[in-house]
Amino acid sequence: MTLLDQDGVRLTTDGAVATVTLSVPEKRNAQTPAMWRTLAEAGRALPGDVRVVVLRGEGKSFSAGLDRQAFTPEGFEGETSFLELGRGPADTLDTVIAEYQEAFTWWRRNDLISIAAVQGHAIGAGFQLALACDLRVCADDVQFAMRETSLGLVPDLTGTHPLVGLVGYARALEICATGRFVRAEEAERSGLANIVVPGAELDGAVADLTAALLAPPRDAVVETKALLRDATARTYEEQRAAERAAQGRRLRDLAGLGD
């Protein structure tokens, strides 16, 4: 079932699985503010029975990043240009960037597991969108790069936190400051990619992973994801307590005493 199809974003559902597709292959799925608003809307439009969300990009590239038209004086039709935003009040600029970030924040909700299926280029905003997901399954032609610094900018679409968590501070700094490509072998070795497969096998690998994620009871997966997401922010003793509380809820539910 198709729930959304606009601004280069298509949202479809098939039972407990939703698929969000970037659908501008002729522009290598370059991103725009309109696309970001629709990506945020896709998160709000998900039916409650969806458990797994797969993010794809049509064509040879997952996403080549921000459409460079953003940096022209005219910008995008109907949008304030990025250059004009930079000349405006600081609080307005902060509000606008926060709105853009909403496209990248909902993928890690505890009630979902999100999988980015990444092929070809995932650059800048494309890299950050892949990082927004819980898991990344990559084709062996994948090329990640964080090119913001080469434009005089910083990665501001929520990508810095997961990148540091996956590869560590020193590697994240080197990747971002140099803007170099991270290819499939390094992505898998460093933890950026959960799985790397030949391009022809990408869809099959995503389908297999999706099936495995749907196999356990939903509430057990939700509780486990919440435990793992917050583990690094807790002390060892706090995490022990969180584990006990979560297991208590699971046991009460299994005993028929849940809410």
Place of tokens 């909700």: 109
Nearest CA-CA partner of 54 in 20, 25, 23, 102: 20
Q: Is residue 246 scored above 90 in pLDDT?
A: yes
What is the per-residue pLDDT across 186-219, written as a single tens digit (0 to 9) for each?
A: 999 999 999 999 999 999 999 999 999 999 999 9
- For residues 5 and 8, give the distance between their C-alpha atoms in angstroms, rounded to a whole number: 7
What is the per-residue pLDDT across 58-71, written as a single tens digit (0 to 9) for each?
A: 999 999 999 988 88
- For residues 13 and 36, give the distance between their C-alpha atoms in angstroms, rounded to a whole number: 20
Domain boundaries, the chain: 2-214, 218-254
Q: Is residue 259 scored above 80 in pLDDT?
A: no
User: Given this model, what pLDDT does residue 73 score?
Assistant: 83
Per-residue tokens: 20: 């969000």
What is the per-residue pLDDT across 137-155, written as a single tens digit (0 to 9) for each?
A: 999 999 999 999 999 999 9
Average pLDDT over residues 21-47: 98
Q: What is the CATH number of domain 2-214?
A: 3.90.226.10
What is the per-residue pLDDT across 178-191, written as a single tens digit (0 to 9) for each?
A: 999 999 999 999 99
With contact defined as beta carbons under 8 Å apart, do 136 and 194 qualify? Answer: yes
Please tell me the pTM assigned to this model.
0.96
With contact defined as beta carbons under 8 Å apart, do 103 and 40 qualify? Answer: yes
